Amino acid sequence: MHGVSVTILGSGSCGNSILVDSEESILIDAGISCKELERRMTIVGKDPSRVEAVVLSHEHTDHTRGAQRFCAKYGVPAYGSDGTLSLTPLSGVEMISISNRRSLSIGGIEIRPFPVKHFAAEPKAFSIVTGHKKIGIASDLGSVNGRIIDEIAGSDILLVEANYDVDMLLTGSYPDFLKRTIKSDHGHLSNDDAGLLASKAACDRTERVVLLHLSKENNTPAKARETVGRKLKSAKRNPKLDITEHGGMNGPFDL
């Protein structure tokens, strides 16, 4: 059986993309240019031509910037909610709608979308099952609820947003309206939120938690690690904890 690996090709407001590589390969988001996606895949020994689909979480440019060019070049479809697809430039690309009511299969990769709250038209997060491995992805959401925990619970690897440290955000240079937006239920997850989500979703089989989408201005890797690590320890969970710095890559993580 072909192994499973997860690579963070980009993370943060400058561009987000996650490569899931198994019997088939898929991209979750394509928020960096096609050329840069290709370059970063090549760096980690992955072949862009193996990608079978681009699955979009929402329409914001830092998640969709390279989607049209990549899909057109490699002749692969873009998957997303109706709201996401309607607001993403995808001329000449096959678009396939996804919903919360059914999972979708791309070869041997099963993708289960579920709704999250974010300032976007119809945003989704995902759990992915391939072989006997489960991958939970929850980024670009402003609040944690029981459904989100349930959807990603039992994952072998959890990819969770840790966008900001509350004190850094409140004392930082952002205008008040933007601070309120980020902290709202439709904004982003704080380090505390990330720790809550990771500690409740992790289980004995969870090998690794990877923190995503750290703000360059309102967070540091050390603060994210300390806060989330403390909450995991309090919940008696001990997965490996990795931080994907703003603009950086991480992985491949082999499962």
Q: Are residues 157 and 241 in the same domain?
A: yes
In a domain, residue 220? The reply is yes
Q: For residue 5, what pLDDT is reported?
A: 97
Q: For residue 179, what pLDDT is reported?
A: 97
Q: Whole domain around residue 168: which residue ranges?
A: 132-247
* φ, ψ (nearest 5 deg) of residue 143: -155, 155
Q: For residue 3, what pLDDT is reported?
A: 86
Strand order in the sheet with 208-212: 104-106, 109-115, 124-130, 133-138, 157-161, 208-212, 240-243
Residues 6+ apart with CB under 8 A from 205: 154, 156
- On whether the CB atoms of residues 139 and 28 are closer than 8 A, the answer is no
In a domain, residue 234? The reply is yes
Among 50, 83, 99, residue at a domain's last position: 99
Residues 6+ apart with CB under 8 A from 59: 80, 83, 84, 87, 88, 120, 121
Q: For residue 100, what pLDDT is reported?
A: 83
Q: Are residues 61 and 159 in the same domain?
A: no
Q: Are residues 136 and 89 in the same domain?
A: no
Q: For residue 221, what pLDDT is reported?
A: 97
In a domain, residue 127? The reply is no
Q: Extract the runs of DSSP E, i.e. beta strands, from 40-89.
A: 51-55, 78-80
Q: Are residues 160 and 74 in the same domain?
A: no
Q: Are residues 145 and 238 in the same domain?
A: yes
Alpha-carbon span 130 to 5, nearest angstrom: 10
Mean pLDDT by 10 residues, the chain (255 residues): 88 97 96 98 96 98 98 98 97 95 91 96 97 96 96 98 98 97 97 98 97 97 98 96 95 96
Q: For residue 165, what pLDDT is reported?
A: 98
